[in-house]
Chains A and B, each alone.
Chain A
Amino acid sequence: MFTFIVRRIIQTIPVLIGVTILTFSMMHLIPGDPAQIIAGESASPEQIELMRERLGLNDPLPVQYFDYIRGVVTGDLGNSIRSGRAVSSEVFLRLRPTIELAVYSTILSVFIGLIAGVFAAVRRGGLSDSLVMIVALFGLSLPNFWLGLMLIQYLAIGIDIFGINTGWFAASGWGTWQQQVLPVLTLGTAGAAIIARMTRSSMLEVIDQDYIRTARAKGVKERVVIYRHALKNALIPVVTVVGLQFGTLLGGAVLTETVFAINGLGRLIVDSIRARDFPIVQGGVLIFALLFVFVNIAVDVIYRLLNKRIDLN
C-alpha cells in the first residue's frame, strides 16, 4: 500500500506541473501589463519598470516559470496588490472555513445519499423508489446559490407559521452551528442527490449478482444481505463519485461562501477577481487545485482498500 501511495503521488507530478503552468500563465494572459496592474493605475513608467524588474517579467518565460515554481515550493506566492501581504498567508487564513464547509457538506451528502439510494434500490419500481428518485432529480437541478437564498429566506429571515417564526438559523458567517447549518445544506444537496442516484443504480447492479443469491441460499437475513453483502460491493463505485463530488463541492463553495458571506477561500478569489488582485486569484486557484489533487489520491487509496480485487501489482 505504501508503494502504491508513493507511486500514485509520482503519477500526479505531470498534472501538478500542468496545473502550475496554467496558473502561471493566468498572470500573462490577463489583458494588460501585469506590472502596470500590480504597480497600480497611477504608477509612473519608472515605477512600472521597477516592478517589472522585481517581478522578473524581463526574464525569458522559462526562467520566470522556474522562479514561480521555486516560489510555490517555498511557499512564496507573491504579494497581494490590495493589502500588500504575502498571498500564502492571506490564502491560508481563509482556507479553514472552505475546507470545513466542503467536508461537512460531503459528510451530509454521503449520509443522505447512501440512505436514500439504498432505500430506493430495495424498493425498486415501487412508489417510494420513484418518489426518492424524483426528489433526487430536483436536488440535482437546483442552483445551489438559489437554494441558499431560499434557505435564508425561510429559515434565517424566517416566516411565521402558527405564531412560530422559522428564522432558526443565521444567514451569514461561519463559526457557530447556527451559521453552519444552512451553508452545509446548500452545498450538500446536489451531492446527496448524485450519490443517491449512484448508490441506487450500483445497488441494483449488485443485487442481481450471483454472490447475493449465494448469501440468500446460505440462509442470511434479507437485511444482512442488503447491508453486509450488497452495500459493501455497491460502495466501490460510489467512492469514486464521492471523490469527484468533493471537488465539485470545493468549487461550489465559491458560490455558497458568496451567498452566506463566509470568509473562505472561494469568496476571497471572487472578491480578488473583482478587485483585479491577480496574485491572490492565482494563488487561491492553485491552492484549490492542489487540495483537489490530493483528495483524489486519498480517494484512490480508499478505493484500493475497499476493492480487494485490484491487484496490488
Chain B
Amino acid sequence: MREEVNTGAVISKTAPNPTVVKLTNLWKKLIKNKSAVIGGIMILLFILIAFIGPHFTPFSPNAQNTVNRLATPSAEHWFGTDHLGRDIFSRIIHGMSITLYVGFFSVLIGTTIGVVLGIISGYYGGKVDTIIMRLMDILLAFPGILLALAIVSVLGSSTENLIIAVGIFSIPVFARIVRGSTLAVRKLEYIDAIKALGANDARIIFLHILPNVTSPIIVQATLSIATSILTASGLSFIGMGAQPPTPEWGAMLSDGRNYMWDAPHVATIPGLAIVVVVLAFNLFGDGLRDALDPKMKN
C-alpha cells in the first residue's frame, strides 16, 4: 500500500515546515501580548455572561411595565428601562448570547465554506481556481453590508437568516486568504517530496496544507467575528435581522432612537455593549496576528 509511507517523517528530513507555529510557542507569545491578553479575558468574560448571565438577571428580558417607562438608570434598573418599561440591563445580558451566537455561527459558515473553496482553488489551480475566484469577485462586487442586506431581503428577516446572510458575506475573505496560503505552501519543496512518496491529495491537504493555513484562518476568523457582529447588529437596526421582542442589541438601539430626546440612554447603552464586544474581538485578533505573524512585529 502506498498509503503506508510515513509522510510525516519526511518533513524533518527535507525541509522544516516553516509556517506552522507550535502551540506552546503561540501561548508564550500570546501571554506577552497586551492586546491579546486583554481581548482574550474580555471574550472569556462575555462567553461566561452569555451562558450563566440569563439565570441571574433581576428581571425577565421581556417583562413589560407600562408604569415605569423610559426610566433613567437607578439602583433598581441599572441601565434604566425602555419604552415598554422593560429592564435594559436584563435585556443586555440576554442579548449577549444572541450577539455571540450570531457572531460565532456566521463566521463558522463563512470560514467553513471559504476554507474549502480556498483550498480547492489554491491546490488544484487552473479552471477550478478561475471559476471559484470569479464567484468570489461577484460576491465582492456588492459593496459592504449590501450583499447581506440583499440576501436577507430574499430570505426574509429572522435571526437564522441573518446568520446565513452575514456568513455568506464573509466567505470571500476566507477563500482569498486560504487560497493565497495554499499556493504558498504548495510551492514548498517538501510538498513535492511527499507527493513523490505517493501521498494522495486528501492526505496532503489535511496533513500538510491545512495545518499551514491555520494561523491566518484563526486571525481572520477572530477579526471577522467583530465585523460580523457589527454587520448583524446593523441589519437588525434597520429591521432586517432579529425581530422584536428579541433582546438583540441592534434592534434595541432601533427602538431607542425614537426616544432620543427624552431618554437617550435607551439607545446609548445597547450601542456601548456592541462597542465593547466588538472591541474585545478586534483586540484579540490584533494580538493573535502579532503572535502568529512575525512579519507584523512592532
Contact = CB atoms under 8 A, between A and B. Distances in A.
- Is A in direct contact with B (CB under 8 Å) within the complex? yes
A153 interface: yes
A157 B146 contact: no
B27 to A, nearest CB: 23
B291 interface: no
B141 A19 contact: yes
A119 interface: no
A249 B143 CA distance: 8
A137 to B, nearest CB: 6
A254 B146 contact: yes
Interface residues of B, number: 45
10 shortest interchain CB distances as A-B pairs: A251-B144, A146-B271, A18-B138, A247-B143, A250-B143, A141-B278, A141-B279, A248-B144, A251-B145, A292-B143
Given A26-B150, A255-B145, A19 B253 contact: no
Overall SS of chain B's interface: helix
Contacts, number: 145
A50 to B, nearest CB: 25
B135 interface: yes
A145 B274 CA distance: 11
Interface in A192-245: 201, 204
B149 interface: yes
A145 B252 CA distance: 12
Contacts of B296: 201
B253 A149 contact: yes
A29 interface: yes
A153 B264 contact: yes
B234 A143 contact: yes
Interface string A264-286: 00000110011000100100010
A258 B238 contact: yes
A204 B298 CA distance: 9
Interface string B211-254: 00000000000000010001001100111100000000010010
Given A249-B144, A292-B143, A26 B250 contact: no
Between B253, B260, B270, the greatest number of chain A beta carbons within 10 A of the residue's beta carbon is seen for B260
Interface of A: 14-15, 18-19, 22-23, 26, 29-31, 124-125, 137-138, 140-147, 149-150, 152-153, 157, 201, 204, 246-252, 254-255, 258-259, 269-270, 273-274, 278, 281, 285, 288-289, 291-293
Contacts of B298: 124-125, 204
B146 A18 contact: no
Between A26, A258, A273, the greatest number of chain B beta carbons within 10 A of the residue's beta carbon is seen for A273
Given A248-B144, A252-B144, A270-B238, A18 B283 contact: no
B97 to A, nearest CB: 19
A285 B150 contact: yes
B156 interface: yes
B184 interface: no
B142 interface: yes
A274 B149 CA distance: 12
A150 B279 contact: no
Interface string B245-286: 000001001001100110010011011001100110011001
B237 A145 contact: yes
Contact of B260 (A18, A22, A149): A149
A255 B134 contact: no
B65 interface: no
Contact of B275 (A142, A157, A292): A142
B75 interface: no
Contacts of B226: 140-141
Interface string B123-158: 000000000001101100111111101101110100
Contact of B268 (A14, A144, A153, A249): A153
Nearest to B268: A150
A270 B152 CA distance: 11
A88 B149 CA distance: 20
A292 B140 CA distance: 9
10 contacts: A19-B141, A30-B153, A143-B250, A249-B144, A251-B143, A255-B238, A269-B149, A270-B238, A273-B152, A289-B143
A201 B233 CA distance: 30
A273 B240 contact: yes
B267 A146 contact: yes
Contacts of B238: 145, 254-255, 258, 270
A271 B253 CA distance: 18
B253 A138 contact: no
B19 to A, nearest CB: 19
Nearest to A270: B238
Contact of B267 (A23, A29, A149, A254): A149
A119 to B, nearest CB: 16
B289 to A, nearest CB: 11
